[in-house]
Chains A and B, each alone.
Chain A
Amino acid sequence: MTADKKKVLVIGVIGADVHAVGNKILYHAFTEAGFEVVNLGVMVSQEEYIAAAIESNADAIVVSSLYGQGELDCRGMREKCDEAGLVGIPLVVGGNIVIGKQQFEDVERRFKDMGFDRAFPPGTAPETTIAALRELLHMDGETV
Chain B
Amino acid sequence: MKPILLIDFGSTYTKLTAVDVEGETILGTAQSYTTVQTDINDGLENGLRLLEAKTGKLEFAETYACSSAAGGLRMVASGLVPELTSEAAKLASLGAGAKIVGLYSFQLTEEDLEEIAALKPDIFLLVGGTDGGNTACILHNAQMLAQLEPKFPVVIAGNRTAARQCQKYLEKFETYVCPNVMPKFGVLNIEPTQKQIREIFLNRIIHAKGLSKATALLSDIMMPTPAAVLQAMELLSEGCEGEGGIGDLIAVDVGGATTDIYSIADGMPEGMNTVYKGIPEPFAKRTVEGDIGMRYSVRGILEAAGADRIGHIAGIRPGRVEELVAWLRENTDSVPDGNEELQRLDFALASMAIETAVARHAGTMEETYTMMGLTYVQSGKNLTHVKQIVVTGGSLIHTQRTAEIAKYALFSPAQPMSLRPKDASVWVDRTYILAAMGLISTRYPQQALRIMKKELEYYGYSE
Bound form: Cα–Cα A6–B80 in Å: 22
Which 10 interchain pairs have the tightest Cβ spacing? A56-B133, A57-B134, A57-B133, A38-B185, A51-B81, A16-B370, A56-B130, A67-B371, A18-B372, A43-B275
For B132, what are the chain A residues with a Cβ–Cβ distance below 8 Å? 5-6, 8, 36, 56-57
Contact with A along B117-143 (1 / 0, CB 8 A): 000000000001110111100000000
A55:B370 contact, CB within 8 angstroms: no
Query: At the interface, yes or no: B85 with Cβ under 8 Å from chain A?
Result: yes
Bound form: Cα–Cα A18–B83 in Å: 23
> In chain B between 83 and 135, which residues have their CB closer than 8 angstroms to a CB of chain A?
83-85, 128-130, 132-135
For B81, what are the chain A residues with a Cβ–Cβ distance below 8 Å? 51, 54-55
B133:A43 contact, CB within 8 angstroms: no
B370:A52 contact, CB within 8 angstroms: no
Given contacts A17-B370, A17-B371, A43-B375, contact A55 B185 (CB under 8 A): yes
Query: At the interface, yes or no: B57 with Cβ under 8 Å from chain A?
Result: no
For B80, what are the chain A residues with a Cβ–Cβ distance below 8 Å? 54-55
For A58, what are the chain B residues with a Cβ–Cβ distance below 8 Å? 133
Contact with B along A90-109 (1 / 0, CB 8 A): 00000000000000000000
Grouping DSSP codes into helix (H, G, I), strand (E, B) and loop, the A interface class, with mixed when no group exceeds half, is: loop
For A127, what are the chain B residues with a Cβ–Cβ distance below 8 Å? none
Query: At the interface, yes or no: A42 with Cβ under 8 Å from chain B?
Result: yes
B158 smallest CB distance to A (angstroms): 10
Bound form: Cα–Cα A106–B38 in Å: 79
Bound form: Cα–Cα A18–B182 in Å: 26
Bound form: Cα–Cα A54–B371 in Å: 30
For B185, what are the chain A residues with a Cβ–Cβ distance below 8 Å? 38, 40, 52, 55-56
For A6, what are the chain B residues with a Cβ–Cβ distance below 8 Å? 132
Bound form: Cα–Cα A41–B129 in Å: 20
For B277, what are the chain A residues with a Cβ–Cβ distance below 8 Å? 43, 48
A18:B370 contact, CB within 8 angstroms: yes
Interface size on A, residues (CB 8 A): 21
B84:A55 contact, CB within 8 angstroms: yes
B133:A8 contact, CB within 8 angstroms: yes
Bound form: Cα–Cα A58–B184 in Å: 12
Bound form: Cα–Cα A23–B245 in Å: 41
7 contacts between A and B (CB under 8 A): A17-B371, A18-B275, A18-B371, A43-B377, A55-B130, A56-B130, A56-B133
For A57, what are the chain B residues with a Cβ–Cβ distance below 8 Å? 129, 132-135
B275:A42 contact, CB within 8 angstroms: yes
A52 smallest CB distance to B (angstroms): 5
Bound form: Cα–Cα A58–B130 in Å: 10
Query: At the interface, yes or no: B400 with Cβ under 8 Å from chain A?
Result: no
Bound form: Cα–Cα A6–B134 in Å: 14
Bound form: Cα–Cα A44–B62 in Å: 54
Bound form: Cα–Cα A121–B133 in Å: 31
Closest chain B residue, CB of each to CB of A54: B81
For A41, what are the chain B residues with a Cβ–Cβ distance below 8 Å? 275
For A42, what are the chain B residues with a Cβ–Cβ distance below 8 Å? 275
Closest chain B residue, CB of each to CB of A58: B133
User: Which of B133, B369, B371 touches A55 (beta carbons < 8 Å)?
Assistant: B133
Q: Which residues of A contact B (CB under 8 A)?
A: 5-6, 8, 16-18, 36, 38, 40-43, 48, 51-52, 54-58, 67
B134:A56 contact, CB within 8 angstroms: yes
User: Which of B84, B130, B133, B375 touches A18 (beta carbons < 8 Å)?
Assistant: B375
Bound form: Cα–Cα A48–B83 in Å: 9
Query: At the interface, yes or no: B339 with Cβ under 8 Å from chain A?
Result: no
Bound form: Cα–Cα A113–B132 in Å: 32
B279 smallest CB distance to A (angstroms): 10
Q: With contacts A16-B369, A43-B368 known, what are 15 further pairs, Cβ within 8 A? A: A8-B133, A18-B275, A18-B375, A43-B370, A43-B375, A48-B277, A54-B80, A54-B134, A55-B81, A55-B129, A55-B133, A55-B182, A55-B185, A57-B129, A57-B135
For B128, what are the chain A residues with a Cβ–Cβ distance below 8 Å? 55
Bound form: Cα–Cα A138–B165 in Å: 29
Closest chain A residue, CB of each to CB of B372: A18
A51:B134 contact, CB within 8 angstroms: no
> In chain B between 341 and 375, which residues have their CB closer than 8 angstroms to a CB of chain A?
368-372, 375
Bound form: Cα–Cα A54–B84 in Å: 10
For A5, what are the chain B residues with a Cβ–Cβ distance below 8 Å? 132
Bound form: Cα–Cα A38–B129 in Å: 13
For A40, what are the chain B residues with a Cβ–Cβ distance below 8 Å? 185
Contact with A along B294-323 (1 / 0, CB 8 A): 000000000000000000000000000000
B372 smallest CB distance to A (angstroms): 5
Bound form: Cα–Cα A41–B371 in Å: 17
Bound form: Cα–Cα A17–B377 in Å: 12
For A43, what are the chain B residues with a Cβ–Cβ distance below 8 Å? 275, 277, 368, 370, 375, 377
A96 smallest CB distance to B (angstroms): 11
B374 smallest CB distance to A (angstroms): 11
Bound form: Cα–Cα A17–B375 in Å: 10
For A54, what are the chain B residues with a Cβ–Cβ distance below 8 Å? 80-81, 134
A99 smallest CB distance to B (angstroms): 11
> In chain B between 388 and 424, which residues have their CB closer than 8 angstroms to a CB of chain A?
none
Closest chain B residue, CB of each to CB of A68: B371
For B130, what are the chain A residues with a Cβ–Cβ distance below 8 Å? 38, 55-56
B187 smallest CB distance to A (angstroms): 11
Of A38, A52, A56, the most chain B CB neighbours within 10 A belong to A56
Bound form: Cα–Cα A5–B135 in Å: 14
Bound form: Cα–Cα A8–B84 in Å: 18
Closest chain A residue, CB of each to CB of B275: A43
Bound form: Cα–Cα A41–B275 in Å: 9
